[in-house]
Amino acid sequence: MGDGADGAPDARVVLLGPPGAGKGTQAQVLSQRLGVPAISTGDMLREAVAEGSDLGGKVQGIMASGALVDDATMAEVVRERLGKADARQGFLLDGYPRTLPQAETLAGILRDAGLSLSAVLLVEVPEDELVRRTLLRGRADDREEVVRERLRLYREKTAPLIGYYGERRLLRQIDGNRPVEDVAAQMLGVFGIEGIGTEGI
């Protein structure tokens, strides 16, 4: 990994992990320490719509219809977002890719820019703990059977990604069943950064 302008390592990172694993929280910590933007799928789509471009109009139309954004459109959104100045030294992607075809698309987008991923961080938490965390949040649709079905779908779609990135020696397994500070320290250790710096989380 090269160094960014401020001496921090270039970090082009995908965060993988089930719903409730705390990826969003960790993405913000890593973003601050590595000096690269944390980008979720939702953020990318909202930004595309807000910019009012032709692509944003297309996304808005799809979302307004209640349909899922198709892979080809999502690829355009990702390509545009990763081409922005703030992502030049790297990025943290949370929620993309979700499937093997999307992983291949991301590899192609980066290859076209002469780049590649630095690491894929897989946040692992036991299913029973994920269910417990989610039920504690207490949203109306968070019944145990609904949560377990959500986790089943995650495993079904994401298992191939774990193999894909494992074969490419990019996968780093992170024990997410620990305090937030410990999880952050594990992630930062992948980039050779010691010290947590997680004040306020």
pLDDT at 141: 75
- Please name which of 15, 28, 13 lies closest in space to residue 180, comparing C-alpha atoms: 28
Mean pLDDT of the chain: 90
CA–CA distance, 123 with 174 (Å, rounded to integer): 5
Domain that residue 182 falls in:
11-188
Q: Which residue has the tokens 């980008």?
A: 39
Q: Which two tokens stand for residue 68?
A: 């899922």
HSE-up of 164 (CA within 13 Å, CB side)? 20
DSSP state string for 140-191: TT--HHHHHHHHHHHHHHHHHHHHHHHHTT-EEEEE-SS-HHHHHHHHHHHT
What are the two backbone dihedrals, phi and then psi, of residue 124, each rounded to the nearest 5 degrees? -110, 130
CA–CA distance, 118 with 114 (Å, rounded to integer): 13
In a domain, residue 25? The reply is yes
CA–CA distance, 29 with 164 (Å, rounded to integer): 26
Q: Which two tokens stand for residue 135?
A: 């039920």
* pLDDT classification of 198: cutoffs 50, 70, 90: very low
In a domain, residue 2? The reply is no
In a domain, residue 85? The reply is yes
Share above pLDDT 70 across residues of the chain, in percent, rounded to a whole number: 92
In a domain, residue 101? The reply is yes
C-alpha torsion 27→116→50→21, nearest 10? -30
In a domain, residue 193? The reply is no
In a domain, residue 127? The reply is yes
User: Taking 80 as the threshold, does the pLDDT of residue 201 lie above it?
Assistant: no
How many domains would you assign to the chain?
Answer: 1
E strand segments, 71-125:
90-94, 119-124
pLDDT at 10: 78
pLDDT at 194: 78
In a domain, residue 171? The reply is yes
pLDDT in tens, 136-184: 987 777 889 999 999 999 999 888 999 999 999 999 999 999 999 999 9
Share above pLDDT 90 across residues of the chain, in percent, rounded to a whole number: 80
Q: Which two tokens stand for residue 28?
A: 């913000």
In a domain, residue 200? The reply is no
Higher model confidence: residue 201 or residue 94?
94
CATH number at residue 42: 3.40.50.300
pLDDT in tens, 40-82: 999 999 999 999 999 999 999 999 998 989 999 999 999 999 9
Contact 81, 39 (CB under 8 A): yes
